[in-house]
């Protein structure tokens, strides 16, 4: 039993070294000394018969073997902690550290309320909140779960739909000083802004009773940032198809005009995803449930049918 415990402790030490970026930082986090961390690293490398870290003057980097080891170590440590949580029972108070990746704009605004509630409800928890719009590498980056507009693919990933983002066409009042466009085709005459990867040269709208319209545009400004899109639109640079939540205050204040209220862009589903496992720790189950219920309360019946991760 002690040999197994020692190997787990060595694995956790190595993962902490990689995450912290140095032996001294890992020692501080683990409440021990740098020489102790160094001895553990040497013991692990000796037991495995391979070098795990490449050291330079200013930084340390996992070797190819180290990259493989840290990825598998994260899986093993997660499974072990999940087993402990399973044996302790459902009544455990969520505790520990949760690493979450979320989209930049959504993660800075719409998701912070549920995260604050999560931390207030469970004082023994801490969250590492990473904002990133690209693909998520769960194991390699040590990520517990992500919130994403695009559902992550892969058989080893569990995906739960939690929300749908509505999108509307907006423009500054100066762009429509007279009568606002009354039909989708008239929007083509306006200068436009584009938001990649969602739209660039065409805008697709949906109306009542299944009606659709596609407008060809020539954007004057192209961005991948919702915040930049909103600012450019309110500055009068062009019309935009934007998430309703990010422009709601500007529309209410008159800085933007909601064009063609009977028409909207296709909704964008929002998902929470996490690696498939036999056991899920209480902190992950609680996080998924808070995310799900937060949007269910705001938009009853929209994306709220999914349930949080269940232990199999």
Is the pLDDT at 281 greater than 50? The verdict is yes
Between CA 161 and CA 269 the distance in angstroms is: 7
The string of pLDDT tens digits covering residues 10-48 is 888 888 888 778 888 888 878 888 889 889 989 988 888
Give the residue-averaged pLDDT of 299-304. 37
Average pLDDT of span 281-294: 89
**With contact defined as beta carbons under 8 Å apart, do 219 and 192 qualify?**
yes
Question: What is the location of CATH 3.40.190.290 in the chain?
Answer: 165-267
What fold characterizes domain 165-267? D-Maltodextrin-Binding Protein; domain 2 (3.40.190)
Is residue 82 scored above 70 in pLDDT? no
Q: Is 2-88 in CATH node 1.10.1530.10?
A: no
Q: Is 3.40.190.10 the CATH classification of the domain at 96-162+269-298?
A: yes
Start-end ranges of CATH 3.40.190.10 in the chain?
96-162+269-298
The terminus-to-terminus CA distance of the chain in angstroms comes to 26
Whole-number CA gyration radius for the chain? 24
Q: Provide the whole-model pTM.
A: 0.67
CATH 1.10.10.10 range(s) for the chain read 2-88
- For residue 201, name the pLDDT band (cuts at 50, 70, 90): very high
- Is the pLDDT at 122 greater than 70? The verdict is yes
């Amino acid at each position: 039993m002690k040999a197994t415990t020692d190997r787990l402790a060595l694995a956790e030490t190595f993962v902490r070294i990689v995450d912290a970026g140095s032996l001294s930082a890992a020692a501080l986090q683990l409440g021990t000394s740098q020489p102790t961390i160094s001895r553990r690293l040497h013991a692990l490398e000796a037991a495995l018969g391979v070098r795990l870290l490449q050291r330079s003057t200013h930084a340390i980097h996992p070797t190819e073997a180290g990259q493989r080891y840290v990825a598998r170590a994260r899986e093993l440590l997660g499974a072990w902690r999940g087993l402990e949580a399973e044996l302790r029972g459902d009544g455990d108070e969520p505790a520990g550290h949760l690493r979450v990746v979320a989209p930049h704009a959504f993660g800075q605004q719409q998701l912070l309320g549920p995260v604050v509630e999560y931390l207030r409800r469970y004082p023994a928890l801490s969250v590492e909140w990473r904002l990133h719009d690209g693909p998520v590498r769960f194991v390699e980056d040590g990520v517990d779960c992500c919130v994403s507009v695009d559902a992550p693919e892969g058989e080893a990933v569990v995906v739960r739909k939690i929300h749908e983002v509505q999108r509307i066409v907006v423009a500054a009042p100066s762009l429509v000083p007279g009568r606002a466009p009354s039909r989708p085709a008239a929007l083509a005459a306006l200068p436009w802004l584009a938001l990649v990867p969602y739209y660039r040269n065409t805008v697709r709208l949906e109306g009542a009773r299944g009606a659709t319209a596609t407008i060809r545009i020539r954007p004057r400004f192209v961005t991948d940032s919702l915040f930049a899109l909103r600012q450019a639109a309110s500055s009068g640079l062009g019309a935009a198809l934007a998430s309703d939540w990010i422009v709601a205050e500007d529309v209410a204040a008159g800085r933007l005009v909601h064009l063609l209220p009977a028409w909207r862009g296709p909704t964008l589903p929002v998902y929470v995803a996490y690696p498939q496992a036999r056991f899920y720790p209480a902190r992950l189950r609680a996080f998924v449930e808070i995310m799900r219920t937060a949007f269910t309360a705001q938009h009853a019946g929209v994306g709220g049918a999914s349930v949080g991760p269940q232990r199999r």
